[in-house]
Structures are given as C-alpha cells and as structure tokens.
Amino acid sequence: MSSHIHRIADRMELLDASGIRKVFDLAAKMADPINLSIGQPDFDVPESIKAHAIQAIRDGRNKYTQTQGTAELRAAIAERCREEFGWADALERPYLITSGVSGSLLLIMQALVNPGDEVVFTDPYFVMYSHLVNLSGGVPVPVDTYPDFRPDIDKIAAAITDKTRMLIINSPGNPTGAVYTADELRAIAELAGKHNLLVVSDEIYDLFCYDQPFVSMAAFYENTLLLRGFSKSYAMTGWRLGWATGPAAILEKMTMLQQYTFVCAPSMAQAGGIIALETNMSEQIAAYRQKRDMVVDALGDTFGLVKPGGAFYAFVPAPAGETATDFVTRAIENNVLIIPGNVFSTKDTHFRLSYATSEDKLAEGLEILKKLAKTGKNRNRELGTGEKQER
C-alpha cells in the first residue's frame, strides 16, 4: 500500500457520495432485491435505434464529430423544435449535442456561475443541481414546494436576490413526478422576465406525461436554456446523449467548454439519436402510466401520496412518527430498495420510489411497503423477507 499523501482539491469537500449510489452499492450485495430505486427505464432501446447505431459503427463512423454534434442530428432536433414551438428561425438557432443532460448541466454551471452567484431551484430537486452549483463556487437556493410540489411563485420571488444567476426548473420532475401547468410556467416566465433571469429548463422526462399534454418553458420565455435528452425517453441511459438550445452567447461558451472537456458526444449514439427522434414511444409511455396508477392505488390512501403526473417516480411521505431514512432502512431490511428523500431535499420526510420495473416486481414491492407502514417502526423483520438480503 502506498504511503504517499495526496492532496485532494478543497472543492471535493463540497460533494458527498450520492445517496443513490449508496443504495446501488447495497443492492449489489443483495441476492434478489425488489429494486424500486433505479432511475432508468426497464424497457430496452428500440431495435431500430440500435440497428442504426450498429450500422454507423460498421460504416466506420467511430471518430470525433464536431464538438457541437453532427449536422444531421442538429438538423433533426431543429425540425423537432420548429414543429413543437413554431419557431420560424428554428433551423438557424444554435444547438449543442451533449454527453447526456448531466453533461449539459456541468457545462452550464462552469460557463455561467461565478463564486457567490446564487442558483434558485425548487425543493425537492434532482440531486445534481445542488452539487454542481457548489462545485462551481455558487450558492444553491432551494425553494420549498411541500406538501403538493407545486411551484409557489411568491416563494420563488422571495428567493431571488441581486446575486441570483439563474432559475432551474424540472418538469416533469425528479423525484416528485410533478408536471407544471401552462399557467404555472407563464407565471415563472413573468417572474424571470421581471428580473432578467435565465431559466434552465430540464425536460429530460418530457415524454413521460400522463394526465395532460406536455408544455415546455421554451414556449413561453425566450431567455430559456432548454435541455432534453435520450436517456429516459428511449432507454439510452448508457449512450450519454442529450441536447441544449437557447441564447446563442451561452451556447457558444458551452460549446467551447465541451471542446476542452467531453470533446463531443459519442458518435454512434448521435447516429442512433436521429432515429430515436422519429420513434413512437406511446406503447412504453402507456405502460408507465399504468404503473403510475398502480402506485397511486396502492399507496395513495395508506401514505397520503400526492399523485405524480409524470416521469416515473413517486415521492411518498414516510409513515407518521418516522423519518424517511428510518423507513427506507426498514424497507431495505425487507428486500425493497427505495431512496430516502433527504438525497433530493433539505427535508427527510419522504422517500422516492421508482416504478421503472416490471409490474410483478412493482406489485410485490408495493405490498411490502403497505405492510411496513401498518406494522410500524418497531417491528422491522416480521414480514419474513429480510433474510434474503445477504444470501
């Protein structure tokens, strides 16, 4: 073992190991867990997308692309935006193909956030927001949306100061599944316009919208940095493919930064992305709507769950008298993997459940969670499933 002392950069003290990663590490030691923790689809990438990417590999398209992405994929995205938003200048706007939406977020923070700048987002939030703001020297400013997870314009307005650099919104949202209405987005746009704020709109779950048509912030506010990806919609999580469009000056700096970091998104994934944009996912989305309904039917009354409108998560209140961490510990002891809410929030009152799994596994997991809620925190092991854990 080396005795060298390595000095780690101070900024790394601002990060901690993701609570999600800790649950994944725990899952690796369990024989056959009911995994309701994972944030990726359980369906596979559609065959037509795979075939196009494989053909690209065989055709030798394995080299760097332009930093901003292939002209073909950017043109396909521009056409999608022209259809969706009616942008007459859609083909002239800048587009950047990124290594997933996570890659976009890192580029944004590094390009725009100075030390001391404040970044406002609603709480609960996608775990990466706070960590990337911290890593960039900024100050995360979470705005409480409990108990119904609707964006409260007065609370958001109260969080804005002269140091506020941007506002991040995520609809449909992780971890809550909340989908913002057109009226809510208009109100946010009006507030952002009043303060001349950039709005970063993370729309990675745009296809997973169950009770109303999806509406984008970009439809209401010109100063929107729009982020979308292929990971969730087409199950391409490992392909690392996303895209961004918005103010040209910002896209130019993000592109420059990508040149010196990610270089470009994977070339064969970009080839598959062109086909993905033409792929009908309505069958998969309908299956996820059905799973969402299973969760609401099972947990709505027992836990007081607010019905999620999109994505593939439910953010569920822990039983009375228990922290979310306590309840999650009991669930894991009974072979059900879920994530404590304090991973995504300043509070530890809820847990995140992902229903991106088979209906059979989901039904089994929901039944165990209901029984755990009824047995209470002092009777951990009586469901008889805990012994599977270390087999």
CA gap 217, 226 in Å, rounded: 8
Domains and CATH numbers, the chain: 10-45+281-379 (3.90.1150.10), 47-276 (3.40.640.10)
pLDDT at position 157: 98
- Phi first, then psi: give them for residue 118, nearest 5 degrees: -100, 140
- Overall residue count recorded for the chain in this entry: 391
Q: Would you say 141 and 165 are in contact if contact means Cβ atoms under 8 Å apart?
A: no
Using alpha carbons, list the distances in angstroms from residue 200 to 124, 197, 207, 353, 390: 16, 10, 18, 25, 43
Supply the angle between the helices 248-259 and 100-112 in degrees, to the nearest 10: 110
Query: HSE on the CB side for 208, CA within 13 Å?
Result: 37
| Edge-first strand listing for the sheet containing 224-229 | 95-98, 242-245, 224-229, 198-202, 164-170, 118-123, 139-144
Give the closest residue to 308 by CA, choosing from 349, 344, 355, 347.
355
User: pLDDT tens digits for 279-294?
Assistant: 999 999 999 999 999 9
Give the closest residue to 175 by CA, choosing from 354, 347, 358.
354
User: pLDDT tens digits for 69-101?
Assistant: 999 999 999 999 999 999 999 999 999 999 999
pLDDT at position 13: 83
User: pLDDT tens digits for 242-265?
Assistant: 999 999 999 999 999 999 999 999
CA gap 101, 132 in Å, rounded: 13
In the predicted model, residues of the chain with pLDDT beneath 70 are 1-3, 17-27, 377-391
- Phi first, then psi: give them for residue 290, nearest 5 degrees: -65, -40
pLDDT at position 6: 81
pTM of the model: 0.92
